[in-house]
Structure 1
Amino acid sequence: MSLLPEQCRAARGLLNWTQGQLALAAGVSRSTIKDFECQRHALQRSSEELLINAFRLRGVELLFEDGAARGVGVRFRARG
């Protein structure tokens, strides 16, 4: 399960975050996010985990193609 650039942009969109806001929340540089989203380079596993955790803490669930989800995407976690 790897974060895709499109998922990163979509998750930021749900939160109405800039690349800078995500960088601050995740503890990575803005250029890391910019280069990843522009597909200039892949994320290091540690950076990927920081981004995923920042999204999860704000209620964003990342969907991965695992049969049940039928594709990748993002959504707000169900409250319950």
Structure 2
Amino acid sequence: MIAPGQCRAARALLNLSQKQLADAAGVSLRTVQGFERGDRTLHRLAMNAIERVLNDKGIVLITQTDWIGVKLKTSGNSA
């Protein structure tokens, strides 16, 4: 389950705007804005859609007992 700070951090790693994330996930811009501010909890479908978009772009959500975060998976291939 993604936290608001993880969403902001993931977008920053991917250089995605709130609008780009909202469009890709099929949710409203207000949904993303409210969630990231902590004003709104996401419905399960919206949360799954946002997590799926981020995951497809290489984001791994890290949730442990004493901390949370995100990391960006790279292919590891050099060009």
The normalised TM-score by structure 1 is 0.87
1:41 positional shift: 1.2
Q: After TM superposition, what 4+ stretches of structure 1 lie above 4 angstroms from structure 2? A: none
The number of aligned residues is 76
Q: Kindly report the root-mean-square deviation, in angstroms, between the aligned alpha carbons of the 2 structures.
A: 1.4
The normalised TM-score by structure 2 is 0.88
Give aligned-pair identity as a percent: 38
Higher gyration radius (CA): 2
AA aligned to 2:55 is R
List alignment gaps of at least 5 residues for structure 1: none
- Separation in structure 2 between the aligned mates of residue 57 and residue 78 of structure 1, nearest angstrom: 12
- Post-superposition Cα deviations, 1:49-76, rounded to whole Å, max 9, x if no partner, equal 000000011011111115xxx5210001
